[in-house]
Homo-oligomer: A and B are copies of this chain.
Amino acid sequence: MMPCSYLCPMSKPLILVTNDDGIVAPGIRALVEVAAQFGEIIVVAPDSPQSGQGHAITIHDPLRLRQVDVFEGIQAWECSGTPVDCVKLAKHVLLKDRKIDLCLSGINHGSNSSINILYSGTMSAAMEAALEGIDSIGFSLLDFSFNADFSGAKHWASKIVSYALEHPFRHGHLLNVNIPKLPAAEIKGIRVCRQCEGRWIEEFVEGKDPSGRPYYWLTGRFVKQDEGEDTDEWALEHGYISVVPSMHDLTNYQAIPELVNNGLTTR
């Protein structure tokens, strides 16, 4: 007998939902509402904001998992750890006897385009699921505010989730989706892109605490360093949703001949 697939009316896909802004952020509620149209949902998300946590994991401390009633009729756990910890606990503790069909992370309050994928807890959670062979999508809306309007993002995220369930990924398992801050009808469409080159110009705010000791507080601005029209930044600036297929192999294949030819290899 063939196993049930997404297309089998008897089975609903099992969708893990997580984020980095914390389980009570409006963005994850929007994503749960999207996902609930398509399958059975399990939410495992941080109990506090975890923006900028990148691919951090918790090694030196125990982790806590607590079932919570945040989304009506949907199983949800809050976790004391990082976004990547949430995915590990979902996969290896809560759902260890089940197959997760799709992981959705977000919707992040703020962009994760370009090199921001490296710092993003949202994208690292999605990548962790992808490392486990689970098709995985991170969604981000280009609006940092708590009260961001997710209605346009939900409309387009539904299309992308529907696509992912109909077309399991053959070349890797991870999409980085960024959505411009526009009403749904003003978004021009979806573009498949490469990651834009850019960097942060850091400007630490320096101050003194009430005891007179100096501190430094990270701030800065992103500077695009890439004029290509095939990048995520270009797409977002022009009213498109950017989809960057992403991966965990960081090898710089282009540099291998340079190092060998220059004599670094000793054999």
Binary CB contact string for chain A from 85 to 117 against chain B (1 if under 8 A, 0 otherwise) = 100110111000000000000000000000101
CB < 8 Å: which of B49, B52, B63 contacts A218? B63
Cross-chain contact B55 with A54 (CB below 8 angstroms): yes
Query: Is A142's beta carbon under 8 Å from chain B?
Result: no
> Chain A: how many interface residues by the 8 Å CB criterion?
86
Interface centre among A131, A199, A209, A216 (most CB of B within 10 A): A216
**A 144-171 contacts with B by CB, 8 A:** 160, 163, 167, 169-171
Cross-chain contact A56 with B59 (CB below 8 angstroms): no
Minimum CB distance partner of A265 in chain B: B192
Minimum CB distance partner of A63 in chain B: B216
A132 to B207, CA, bound (A): 25
Cross-chain contact B56 with A52 (CB below 8 angstroms): yes
Cross-chain contact A252 with B260 (CB below 8 angstroms): no
Minimum CB distance partner of A58 in chain B: B218
CB < 8 Å: which of B53, B240, B252 contacts A246? B252
* Chain B residues with CB under 8 A of A207: 62
7 residue pairs from A and B, CB less than 8 Å apart = A52-B56, A62-B207, A93-B204, A115-B131, A190-B264, A195-B249, A244-B251
- Taking Cβ atoms with an 8 Å cutoff, the residues of A that contact B are 49, 51-60, 62-65, 82, 84-85, 88-89, 91-93, 115, 117-119, 124, 127, 131-132, 160, 163, 167, 169-172, 174-176, 188-192, 194-195, 197, 199, 202-204, 206-207, 209, 213-218, 240, 243-256, 258-260, 262-267
**Nearest 6 pairs of A and B residues by beta carbon:** A54-B55, A189-B266, A62-B215, A245-B255, A171-B255, A247-B252
